[in-house]
Structure 1
């Protein structure tokens, strides 16, 4: 291999890795931007005396709890799907699947 070919391969490898990392982190960046924008909007509402300091704190806590609940629900859905798939492929019997789902529901406090 000559030097030009080696440099071409190195550049292509760099671009592939760069694109993969960029695609992997872009959803995280967008989500953070949305949260930051919401926070800035709330602070602006406080600055123009639409919200009080205590209301702003309560609203921020509310959003944080809501976000945590959404994450918990997403995890529950993933785990529930995994258990259902294990039942469908025959690893769990109906009774064992039901027991596992009861444990999962208790953990996530789902009725």
Structure 2
């Protein structure tokens, strides 16, 4: 009787474990994975090819580039939405131009 209970308990554990793992995997933001390049950069620092300050500057540069890419993606999404509103006739050409100017100013795009 005890082996049967242990078997059911183990099966129940794995079922719950698998369900929880499947449920949380989409919630984990994969954008915030550590830079794969950072492992190589740390190894370069360990070999004295890069100094600590150079490594810090390079990692900050990667972070700034990542932020710029995200901002540009947001700008593209908003720009597309405004263009679509113009195409369906909700915005006039003048309104579209005005709103694009505001959007460009917000994202500091010339």
Normalising TM by the smaller chain, what interval? 0.7 to 0.9
Structure ID, larger Rg:
2
2:75 is matched with which residue? 76
1:7 is matched with which residue? none
1:52 is matched with which residue? 51
Alpha carbons of 1:61 and 1:18: their partners in 2 closer, same or farther (altered >3 Å)?
closer
Which TM-score applies when normalising by structure 2? 0.73
Which TM-score applies when normalising by structure 1? 0.73
Unpaired segments of 5 or more residues in structure 2? 1-14
Secondary structure (helix, strand or coil) at the match of 1:65 reads helix
RMSD of aligned alpha carbons: 2.4
Alpha carbons of 1:20 and 1:92: their partners in 2 closer, same or farther (altered >3 Å)?
farther
1:63 is matched with which residue? 62
Distance 2:105 2:24 in 1: 37
The count of aligned residue pairs is 94
Would you identify which runs of 4 or more consecutive aligned residues in structure 1 move more than 2 Å?
17-22, 31-34
Distance 1:73 1:47 in 2: 35
1:89 is matched with which residue? 88
Q: Determine if the alignment matches structure 1 residue 40 to structure 2 residue 39.
A: yes
How far apart are residue 33 of structure 1 and its match? 3.8
Larger relative helix fraction: 1
1:110 is matched with which residue? 109
